Structure 1
Amino acid sequence: MVYLDNAATTPVRPEVLEAMLPYLGREAFGNPSSPHRFGRAARAGVDQAKRSIAEALGGGGGGGGGVEPAQVIFTSGGTEADNLAVIGCALAARDRGDPFRVAVSAIEHKAVLAAAHAVAHLGGEEIILPVSGSGEVADAALNEALARGVAVVSVMWVNNEVGVVQPIARLAARCRDAGVPFHVDGVQAFGKIPVSLSDIPCTLFTISGHKIGAPKGIGALVVRDRHAVEAIIHGGGQQFGIRPGTENVPGIVGLGAAVELAAREQAAFAARAAALRDDLERRVLAVVPDAVINGASGPRAPHVSSVSIPGTDSEALLMHLDLAGIACSSGSACSTGAVEPSHVLTAMGVPRELGVAALRFSFGKENTEEDVEALVAALPKIVEKVRHLSAVLHR
């Protein structure tokens, strides 16, 4: 089986599992808030993970001030971290008497878009920032939103569907100059492109464990200004009250280990992934000449490729690829039984007929040239079959 869906999730790395095991057994299973030795052992694991993550994200000085361990707030994953950033900033602004309004880009992950919708449902306002054909946030729209006044601006560093890389340093600086908190969804960026928050004056930054070889159910939000965000769930005083609840110690330890590995291996992984992606795109275009690479006109992360194949639909392609032993994902979403293009491709101006025919291939640590060869060998016959079926159905 060929797995080309690493932007969806990745397997837990053996090194990460090994690091977690003491915190799942008798050695350090305690509640990290407990004062006895079992609690202290668990707390030591949490504190070490905080130090590892802060260091990997740019601990120390710099234009953005670096990251301190105390600024790392653990969550159940990227979705919760994004919600905490967007809704938490909006609630904090409302309580201060500032604008109860958020601005997010049109190609954000659904976690951010749904959080912005939730702010509107609570009586606030959401501003959707348009993007160019290459997927980059429009400067004029951002400037207009900042002029109106917003509680937070949220932009993902690397898009999860097409891999477009936003000019995060410039956007962060613009928000800083306007005095507006800036949230970066870094889920698809960390470990794939160079990431150092020492050079990025963002207020909040999201990472997710299962995208980098840690388990599902663990993520983190870097909160550089505690006054900028308000808790969205309530309980004890853990994590300064920003995200209360007993910490998931094994998951936290696993996230810390995965972050260390991803930071150490980032440059080598990026080079290998870029070579595989470029080879895949070149060879797909050779066997399906009318295929279209989405987002290729702008800067992209090395591990994601979005390819539209005219005259097909992505759900049929996915089914046949799966039967051929190849796992990838689509650039479309199934709604009420009909295939619709993803919001990302629509926002980028991709025509509907290409949007519903998009496939996403995403590379991970274990992918090889043989995986690309397997895909390219299977794809022409699958495309021919799906196009034939589509022609018959539309007669």
Structure 2
Amino acid sequence: MMEVYLDNNATTMVDPKVFEEMKPFFCDIYGNPNSLHRFGAGTHPKMVEALNFLYEGINAADEDDIIITANATESINTVIKGVWIDKILNGDKKHIITTEVEHPAVTAACRFLQSQGVAVTYLGVNAEGTIDAQQVKDCIKDETALVSVMWANNETGKIFPIKEIGQICRDAGVLFHTDATQAIGKIPVDVQDCNVDYLSFSAHKFHGPKGIGGLYVRKSCALTPLLHGGEQMGGLRAGTVDVASMVGMGWAMKLATSTMALAYEKNHISKLRDKLESAILELPDTIVIGGTENRTPNTTLISIRGVEGESMLWDLNQKGIGASTGSACASEDLEANPVMNAFGSDSELAHTGVRFSLSRFTTEEQIDYAIEVIKNAVTRLRGISSSYAYAPASHASGL
């Protein structure tokens, strides 16, 4: 039995080259970077190098800040709650704009702000699974403090019009945050070109270690820190930095955002994804959620009518294949997939989405094996379904 990991939007393996760069900081160069002695100072060269890799990876300017955090969730909460403190509690802004398909970290933070009296507008997605920049423009008002729109969706891979939204926010004098967790390492990400004020990311999504992330903050857009304590990160985020993980994140960024790596994603990984997708779509009553245009190269979310997503994952797991029904951060939630709901899918289809997400370590041999297993699983599960036999073939045309 072959093992095939197709859940890379949940997490990725650490690139062996990244792991090699991290090794010395566990047992050899282990000093606290804030200590004055040679053991602490010995960590500084590689930390500076890693930080430079992060700046280069997203094209941050020298005068901007990149704060090292524990993960993208912390980065997101730092932005949303920081803006709440600075612009809403201590100012006259009372409104935030986001979308219905954001990562749970954004949605939950916005729900918290709503409980504190903040008005939040949730933009719905269009038939292509994204939003129009004009939707943002139409919803901005004098009280708007922040717009938060993801760069790429974690379930469908759909890419949002970040450059256009950034320009709209800049022209309106509204702060703009984007969660780029699912974009970095898959498509080019440029904070200068897109007028981004805040950008959040997590290392384990682009073959770095778990437990570390970053927050880009444009100069003049400083925030009240989420964590207070020591003076680490220039007082912007208290807590001793995990040097090994910071070095790993820097090197993972360097490898993932190189011209060669991004070209490999675009030209090779997308072909493997398309091969898998096309084979599944040969089955009746299957559809790609959001369509096949304007996506990250590695992701597809497919609805297979008559097959519960959880049941499909069980069958795949028995054959050594890892996939997902959506966000890993909500994997224990048995409610219908919120992204499927946002598309207006019916109650049956809302439970049938299966996400396959590849990485640069996925091989064609693995895809061929996955295709065979998936087709056999669909045949078995539809064969024992109490409702699929009555579903009309016309369902294959769409949601």
* TM-score for the superposition, normalised by structure 1: 0.92
2:24 to 22, 26, 46: 22
* Matching residue of 1:283: 279
Matched to 1:56, the amino acid is: G
Structure-to-structure mapping, 1:232-247, within 5 angstroms: 232-247=226-241
TM-fit CA distance, 1:124: 2.3
Q: Is 1:372 aligned with 2:373?
A: no
Q: Is 1:362 aligned with 2:357?
A: yes
Matched to 1:360, the amino acid is: R
Is the 8 Å Cα contact of residues 192 and 302 (structure 1) preserved in structure 2? Answer: yes
Q: Give the secondary structure class of the aligned counterpart of 1:390.
A: coil
Structure 2 gap ranges (5+): 391-399
Is the 8 Å Cα contact of residues 5 and 362 (structure 1) preserved in structure 2? Answer: yes
- Mapped to 2, the partners of 1:229 and 1:77 lie a distance apart of 17
TM-fit CA distance, 1:144: 3.6
Distance 1:338-1:30 versus aligned 2 partners, 3 A rule = closer
1:10 to 2, 9, 12: 12
Is the 8 Å Cα contact of residues 331 and 356 (structure 1) preserved in structure 2? Answer: no
TM-fit CA distance, 1:320: 0.7
TM-fit CA distance, 1:260: 0.4
* Matching residue of 2:319: 324
- Mapped to 2, the partners of 1:275 and 1:145 lie a distance apart of 38
Structure-to-structure mapping, 1:148-187, within 5 angstroms: 148-187=142-181
Q: Is 1:274 aligned with 2:270?
A: yes
TM-fit CA distance, 1:284: 1.1
Q: Is 1:346 aligned with 2:366?
A: no
TM-fit CA distance, 1:198: 2.7
Is the 8 Å Cα contact of residues 326 and 355 (structure 2) preserved in structure 1? Answer: yes
The range that moved more, 120-129 or 149-158, is: 120-129
Q: Give the secondary structure class of the aligned counterpart of 1:231.
A: coil
* Matching residue of 1:36: 37
* Matching residue of 1:190: 184
- Mapped to 1, the partners of 2:330 and 2:179 lie a distance apart of 26
- Mapped to 2, the partners of 1:43 and 1:11 lie a distance apart of 26
- Mapped to 1, the partners of 2:304 and 2:167 lie a distance apart of 39
* Matching residue of 1:62: none
* Matching residue of 1:251: 245
- Mapped to 1, the partners of 2:64 and 2:221 lie a distance apart of 14
Distance 1:235-1:365 versus aligned 2 partners, 3 A rule = same
- Mapped to 2, the partners of 1:335 and 1:137 lie a distance apart of 23
* Matching residue of 2:396: none
2:111 to 78, 94, 117: 117
Distance 1:335-1:90 versus aligned 2 partners, 3 A rule = closer
* Matching residue of 1:383: 378
- Mapped to 1, the partners of 2:329 and 2:263 lie a distance apart of 36
Is the 8 Å Cα contact of residues 53 and 69 (structure 1) preserved in structure 2? Answer: no
2:197 to 198, 203, 213: 203
Structure 1 gap ranges (5+): 59-65
Q: Is 1:104 aligned with 2:104?
A: no
Q: Is 1:223 aligned with 2:217?
A: yes
- Mapped to 2, the partners of 1:110 and 1:378 lie a distance apart of 31
Q: Give the secondary structure class of the aligned counterpart of 2:239.
A: coil
Q: Give the secondary structure class of the aligned counterpart of 2:192.
A: helix
Q: Which deviations, in whole Å up to 9, do the C-alpha atoms of 1:189-225 show, x marking residues without a partner?
A: 0110112223111101111111111111000000113
* TM-score for the superposition, normalised by structure 2: 0.91
Is the 8 Å Cα contact of residues 82 and 112 (structure 1) preserved in structure 2? Answer: yes
TM-fit CA distance, 1:325: 1.6
Matched to 1:13, the amino acid is: D
Matched to 2:84, the amino acid is: A
Is the 8 Å Cα contact of residues 307 and 352 (structure 2) preserved in structure 1? Answer: yes
Is the 8 Å Cα contact of residues 197 and 221 (structure 2) preserved in structure 1? Answer: no
Q: What CA RMSD, in Å, does the superposition of the two structures yield over aligned residues?
A: 2.3
Distance 1:296-1:349 versus aligned 2 partners, 3 A rule = same
Matched to 2:352, the amino acid is: A
Distance 1:354-1:317 versus aligned 2 partners, 3 A rule = same
- Mapped to 1, the partners of 2:333 and 2:153 lie a distance apart of 24
- Mapped to 1, the partners of 2:191 and 2:330 lie a distance apart of 38
Distance 1:95-1:38 versus aligned 2 partners, 3 A rule = farther
- Mapped to 2, the partners of 1:98 and 1:145 lie a distance apart of 17
Is the 8 Å Cα contact of residues 325 and 331 (structure 2) preserved in structure 1? Answer: no
TM-fit CA distance, 1:352: 2.9
- Mapped to 1, the partners of 2:45 and 2:313 lie a distance apart of 45
- Mapped to 1, the partners of 2:305 and 2:297 lie a distance apart of 24
TM-fit CA distance, 1:379: 1.9
Q: Give the secondary structure class of the aligned counterpart of 1:292.
A: strand
Is the 8 Å Cα contact of residues 299 and 355 (structure 2) preserved in structure 1? Answer: yes
Q: Give the secondary structure class of the aligned counterpart of 1:367.
A: coil
- Mapped to 2, the partners of 1:358 and 1:176 lie a distance apart of 36
Is the 8 Å Cα contact of residues 333 and 342 (structure 1) preserved in structure 2? Answer: no
Structure-to-structure mapping, 1:50-89, within 5 angstroms: 50-58=51-59, 66-68=60-62, 71-89=65-83
Q: Give the secondary structure class of the aligned counterpart of 1:382.
A: helix
TM-fit CA distance, 1:340: 3.2
TM-fit CA distance, 1:109: 0.4
Distance 1:338-1:92 versus aligned 2 partners, 3 A rule = closer
TM-fit CA distance, 1:334: 11
* Matching residue of 2:394: none
- Mapped to 2, the partners of 1:111 and 1:69 lie a distance apart of 28
Is the 8 Å Cα contact of residues 10 and 327 (structure 2) preserved in structure 1? Answer: no
- Mapped to 2, the partners of 1:127 and 1:345 lie a distance apart of 19
